[in-house]
Amino acid sequence: MEGKKGAVFLDRDGTIIEEVNYLRDPADIRLLPGAAEGLTRLQEHYPLVIVTNQAGVARGYFDELHLSRLHRHLEHILAREGIHLAGIYYCPHHPEEGRFPYRRDCPCRKPKPGMLLTAARDLLLDLSQSYTIGDKLSDIGAGRNAGTKAILVRTGWGQEEERLIGGSQLIPDYVADNLLDAAAWILRQRPNTGK
């Protein structure tokens, strides 16, 4: 893994921004409390990569062009906070909804690791040195399946999902109150962080 570095993979809705059911309007994009500060701290040490299931495409609620406009708007909001993303990866598929080519059981829909594996290949990342943060156990599964450490945040669906951990094989390495708390935990794992 010489020359490769770890990254932080982040779910979008309920982790970085407020959960909005099938987000369509850029005006509804709002950063969660602690998100900007957490991302700012993390980007000093890790590339930041969003990995997000977007089955609204398969369901016909919006198309991929509209989704890319939403993501550009999110990038502008983050840029105003001094935050730069290394990439945004999304899965537009659903195994039971929609029409071809979107209705399919694909390798990129979390908890499968396809988006993380593609990002690692594209960006030359070391998954064993990486972290995945999300508000659902499917995020934890994607991180685990890709070989990263995984953190569940209690924002978004996180508090409900936390109650399911006991009956699940998907055990996070840490449960954080929000993205800022998750960032602090990640940075405590780094060697020589006392600078």
Give catalytic residue positions.
Answer: 11, 13
The residue written with tokens 């039971």 in the block is: 96
**CA angle, corner 155, sides to 61 and 110, nearest 5?**
50
Number of residues in the chain: 195
Q: Which of 87, 90, 7 is closest to 47 using CA atoms?
A: 7
The neighbouring-strand residues paired with 52 are 90
Assigned token pair, 98: 């929609």
CB 49 within 8 A of CB 84: no
